Structure 1
Amino acid sequence: MTPGRTLDDRAVKLFIALAAFFCVNAVLAEFIGVKIFALEDTLGMAPLEWNLFGQSGSLNFTVGTLLWPFVFIMTDTVNEFYGKRGVRFISWLAVALIVFGFVFAFLAIATAPAGWWVTAAKDQGVPDYQAAFAAIFGQGMWSIVGSIIAFLIGQLIDVSVFHRIRNATGERWVWLRATGSTAISQLVDSFVVIYIAFVLGPQKWPTSLFLAVSSVNYVYKMLAAIALIPLLYLMRHGIRRYLGDARERELRAEASAD
């Protein structure tokens, strides 16, 4: 294939699209994750009080968790067709973009606001736009560091477990390698991010609260990942139609041998 025709290759176009969607979801999840939402209120349900490790609470999650299941799907799809190198590439790219985004968010906070802009939204209940902007985009450094480290560790574990299951089962049971790899990687991710952000960080959560909140977050992520298994098969079917049977089999064979 000549260099000028590289982008005519459907496999290359597909990888670019998957990588772009993966990175957008990962970066967006980090930035909107500052908001905590009540799942029961959102669904119009009565509060479900959980009780774990001597702690109790309702189902409150960062809104970033709404996007992470799609990140899992993208990870498994890239794993399936582009192998370990593909997942590692998009994972490091996502981390670089997240860091880049937060650096410029902090630079934006540091710029001097226009006087008229500070009170521009007071009629909407925001008396100080600068303070609101800083509170939303200036997330705690411990949370940022924790989420980035947890994300990267989770991704590297996911790709390894995915291919171990694939080597053991062959091309059968796509759902098993997708769900199995997510189950293990998110077990690590869910506990690492909260440990760094809230145990090592200034809030110094007790062990019981750390274990309870981490466990609830993990269960939520796993239920969401399982619910999206049909989407994984739908994407695989769409990719097969887009690439053609022969090219699709070739990519999966290369990914499996990676």
Structure 2
Amino acid sequence: MSAVIMDGKALAKKVKEEVRAAAARMERRPGLAVILVGDDPASQVYADGKKRDCAQCGIYSEEYILPAETGQEELMLLIETLNGRSDIDGILIQLPLPAHLNERAVLSVVRPDKDVDCFHPFNVGELMIGEKGFYPCTPASVMRLLAEYGVELSGKSCVIVGRSNIVGKPLAMLMLRENATVTICHTKTEYLKKECSRADILISAAGQAGLITGDMVKEGAVVVDVAVNRRADGPLCGDVVFEEAAGRASYITPVPGGVGPLTRAMLMKNTLYAAVIHGK
């Protein structure tokens, strides 16, 4: 079997065009504020990418780059200021934060209706009980990608490798909404190969290069690789040994070019949704 490669770049372009068209019909432009604490190069690259996405989608954007030594009170005061501004619909805190800052407290001060990353406890709770609202960007990207390629979820066995609050847990909730039967595994799971090899839909977000080999993939399964790792020799890769898995899967995502580009596009979609909530 030769797997169909699921093109996240093409779909991201389509989603951003949908957002651009909807934003153009609004009386006031949606607005996004991105806060970056410290000078981590990877975070800066990601923040710059979000700025470009906003420009492409007709979304007003502001970027706040704060020194690494910024204190908790100063950061939370900035967030409270942005909470009160009507031109800012979404607030995104670039993670990770420096170790001296209380990440949970910082994320919790963002107004829930401006929490476009879906990290606020209120929004996480809404997701858990099945209410409509913000969906975390990476899990939302996986769901949109599967829908775009017509992958049937109802009644299917879905194995998610990864239990993070950002990807694994919320993705399990979204899969359950579509009536999939979900198993969450992780790097400490005994008999991981056995669990993975029975999956109709296998999603890996563990952050361990080479974790999912071809013999762990059921013939005809859909394989989604969420992880981004860097090999010792430089190139990016996911958790899945792509060449091996592609020989057995029906659909598969590449790394890079799969879930990653779509994640930023879904942030734009969440910002648009926030603007709708705010009556723009």
Q: TM-score range by the shorter chain?
A: under 0.3
Bigger strand fraction: 2
- Larger Rg over CA atoms: 1
Q: What is the TM-score with the length of structure 2 in the denominator?
A: 0.22
Scaled by the length of structure 1, the TM-score of the pair is 0.24
